[in-house]
Amino acid sequence: MLRVGFSVSKSILFAFIAALMIGPARSADWSPATPSPQIIDDWIVSVDASTTGSSSKSYFTEAGATAAIPGSLSTSGARLRVEALAGTYEYLSATNMQIHGQQIEAAVLGGYEWVGPRSKFAVYLGGMALNTALSRPDPHNSANGASLGLKGAVDYYARPSERTMVSAFGAFATNDSQFFTRLRVGYMLPGGVYIGPESAFMGNNTYALWQVGAFLTGAQFGPVQGGLSIGYQQDRDQKSGLYGSADLRVLF
C-alpha cells in the first residue's frame, strides 16, 4: 500500500503514518497507501484512501486518485495524480509546552509509469500546498503557517516470484523539506493476500521518525482492495510508541 501511509512532517505521523510525520514538530504520513496491484481488468483510475493513528496522538486521513492518460493502468503511460491529507498531532515544544497542531495539504502531480510483466515503476512531480496551524506560537517550528512548494515521488512494485512481492516508495516536498520512504517485502498466503515486514523513515527540517512493523494487503473484492498495517515507531520528540493504519483502494 502506498500509505503512505508520507503517510511526514513534524510528528508526521508521526506518517502516511502516517505520513507522513515532526524539536519543533509537525506530523504527516503523506504517502498514499496502495494495496498490491492485482490487475483484473483495464482499469483507468485508482482511488486510494487511508487512515493512520499512533500512540503519540497523531491521527491522519488521506485520499488520492491516479488516472492513466490515456490508456489503462495495466500498460505503460502517462499518469495524473491528485492527493489530499488532513490530520492532527501533539508534541512538546523546546520550552516543554504541549502544542496541538492541525495539518492540511493537497498536491497535483504528473508522471509516467513503466509497467512490465512482473514489475511497475512510476515517477511523479508536481505542486503542493500545505497549511499548518498550532494551538500556541512556537518559533522553533518552521512548519507553522501556509506554504506552496514542489513535490516529487517514486513508486516501485515487483513480484520476484509467484508468491513474493517487493514494494518501495519515496517522496520529497520542498515545503519544510518533508520526506518519506517505505519498504515492504511480502509473501502470498492462500487467497492472494500478502503478509510481511515493513519499514519507513520520515521527517522534515526539524524532525525525524522511523517505523518498523508488519502489513497485510491484497484482500480483494472485485475492484476493491484493502489492507492493514501495525508496528513500532521511534521519533525524536515522542520517543517510542505504536502505530496502525487501514487502507482501501477502488479501481474504475
Q: Which pLDDT band holds residue 2 (cuts at 50, 70, 90)? A: very low
Q: Which pLDDT band holds residue 25 (cuts at 50, 70, 90)? A: very low
Q: What is the rounded average pLDDT of the residues 122-128?
A: 98
Q: What is the rounded average pLDDT of the residues 2-13?
A: 35
Is pLDDT of 221 > 90? Answer: no
The structural domains of the chain, with segments of one domain joined by +, span 45-251
Q: Which pLDDT band holds residue 22 (cuts at 50, 70, 90)? A: very low
Is pLDDT of 117 > 70? Answer: yes
* Average pLDDT across the chain, whole number: 83
Q: Which pLDDT band holds residue 138 (cuts at 50, 70, 90)? A: confident
**Which segment, 17-31, 122-136, 211-225, is predicted with the most confidence on average?**
122-136
pLDDT of residue 232: 97
The CATH class of 45-251 is mainly beta
pLDDT of residue 21: 34
Q: Which pLDDT band holds residue 33 (cuts at 50, 70, 90)? A: very low
Q: Which pLDDT band holds residue 1 (cuts at 50, 70, 90)? A: very low
> What CA–CA distance (Å, rounded) separates 103 from 119?
34
Question: Is the bond into 241 cis (omega within 30 degrees of 0)?
Answer: no
pLDDT of residue 27: 33
Question: pLDDT tens digits, residue range 96-111?
Answer: 888 888 999 999 999 9
> What CA–CA distance (Å, rounded) separates 89 from 184?
26
Q: Which pLDDT band holds residue 19 (cuts at 50, 70, 90)? A: very low
Q: Partners of 212 in the beta sheet?
A: 199, 232
In this prediction the pTM is: 0.81
Is pLDDT of 10 > 60? Answer: no
pLDDT above 90: percentage of residues in the chain = 59
pLDDT of residue 238: 63
Q: What is the rounded average pLDDT of the residues 55-65?
A: 92
Q: What is the rounded average pLDDT of the residues 184-210?
A: 91
